[in-house]
Amino acid sequence: MTFPLFPDQPTALCPNRMQVHAITHETPDVWTLALIHHDVYDYRPGQFARVNIGPTGEIQRAYTLSSTPGISRFITLTVRHIAGGSGSGWLTQQVKPGDYVWLSDAQGEFVNSRAEQPLLLLAAGCGVTPVMSIARDALANHPQQSVQVFYSVRSPQDVIFAAEWQQLAARYPQLDLTILAEQDAQPGQIAGRLSQDVLQLRVPDIQARRVMICGPAPYMALTESWLAALGVAANHIVSERFQPPEAVVSADKTLTLTRLQPLAHYRVPVGSTLLAAMEQHQIPVTAACRAGVCGSCKTRVLSGDYRTTSTMTLSAEEIAQGYVLACSCQLEGDVTLA
């Protein structure tokens, strides 16, 4: 979808006009837009804003303010380009320095409200954007606050803010940074994914920490279950969600996922998403936003017991034919795929 570059009018939701100063290519599919606002724009580290997309601002998309007030030179948005995504495609492929964008006031409660408590920040993928904002603030303004970060990526080239993370680690002794890479882990990184065992081994004081989590919904659901098992109090955990919470995954109850072409049967936990089940059993599926927005994980379900939290990008005809967004489809009973 292509829009004019200057949707030069506010909307009720997005009244703040900002000019793009520069655009930085962070990773192969992630860009940071540095914005100039010629007035006061109040926000707290970890909050997000909605952005007008389109010539009259009829579409809004939410993006984290990856900058940190009082520290960052510019207000920044860090955006992953999603194939077919109207918001990310416009911001990363069409907008250029000198163009204007309109933002809402800052929103969200994913903020560090307990500077006296040591922090444990857990991020995966683009979930690192609010985590970086919070980490900068804590390190610079609350030097007594211990900050431990676990950042999960597919490969080292996918580390967002890579140079800045290394600079922060060298500058602030209270920062304990761990990067986990599923593929091609480099020296100093952990090969593989975050796990309960890793947290138990490397965070001995985990019950005393305020834990802040941001990443794909399946990652957050698993992480929250590990924290509960490790005795972290629920009021010590803050999760950033841009979609409704997923159903609780039950390790004790399973269902049968049937694939017809080729015929195969799989056992998966009740409450898991269809996307998580397909990835677990290496059933081909494309996943980009993992938030029920981009439509890339569209999958046809012939029958079964499930519920959906998003049908964005699906037509009424596709829904009638059984198509779902795998990332937003919670499995509650046996399911058969086309």
Q: Tell me: the pLDDT tens digits for 300-332?
A: 999 999 999 888 788 999 999 999 999 889 999
Note whether residue 261 is domain-resident: yes
| Residue 133 to residue 214: CA distance in whole angstroms | 12
pLDDT digits (tens, 9 = 90+) for 212-254: 999 988 888 899 999 999 999 999 999 986 544 434 455 568 8
Domain containing residue 189: 119-240
Tell me: do 171 and 128 sit in the same domain. yes
Q: Count how many domains the chain has.
A: 3
What pLDDT shows up at residue 289? Answer: 67
Length of the chain: 338
What pLDDT shows up at residue 129? Answer: 96
- pTM for the predicted model, two decimal places: 0.71
Q: Decide: helix, strand or coil at residue 153.
A: strand
Note whether residue 48 is domain-resident: yes
Point out the domain boundary residue: 179, 210, 240.
240
Residue 4: CB atoms within 10 Å? 11
Q: Decide: helix, strand or coil at residue 334.
A: strand
What pLDDT shows up at residue 295? Answer: 79
Q: Which token pair is 306?
A: 């499930």
What pLDDT shows up at residue 73? Answer: 96
Contacts of 173 (CB under 8 A, 6+ apart): none
| Residue 128 to residue 44: CA distance in whole angstroms | 16
What pLDDT shows up at residue 287? Answer: 76
What pLDDT shows up at residue 114? Answer: 86
75-80 β-sheet, strand order: 59-64, 48-53, 100-103, 16-27, 30-36, 75-80
Tell me: do 99 and 126 sit in the same domain. no
Point out the domain boundary residue: 174, 207, 240.
240
Tell me: do 59 and 123 sit in the same domain. no
List the chain residues with pLDDT less than 50. Answer: 1-6, 243-248
What pLDDT shows up at residue 3? Answer: 45
DSSP assignment letter at 236: G
Note whether residue 2 is domain-resident: no
Tell me: do 172 and 74 sit in the same domain. no
**Residue 235, by phi and psi: left (phi above 0), alpha (psi -120 to 50) or beta?**
alpha
Give the mean pLDDT of the chain.
89
**What's the sign of the alpha-carbon dihedral 203, 207, 212, 217?**
positive
| Residue 272 to residue 332: CA distance in whole angstroms | 8
Task: List 17's β-bridge partners, or say none.
Answer: 102
Residue 38: CB atoms within 10 Å? 8
Tell me: do 202 and 277 sit in the same domain. no
Tell me: do 125 and 143 sit in the same domain. yes
- Show contacts of 159-164: CB within 8 Å, 24+ apart: 159/27, 160/26, 160/27, 160/30, 160/78, 160/126, 160/128, 160/129, 160/132, 161/26, 161/78, 161/128, 161/132, 162/26, 164/132
Note whether residue 112 is domain-resident: no
Residue 294: CB atoms within 10 Å? 25
Residue type, 67: S
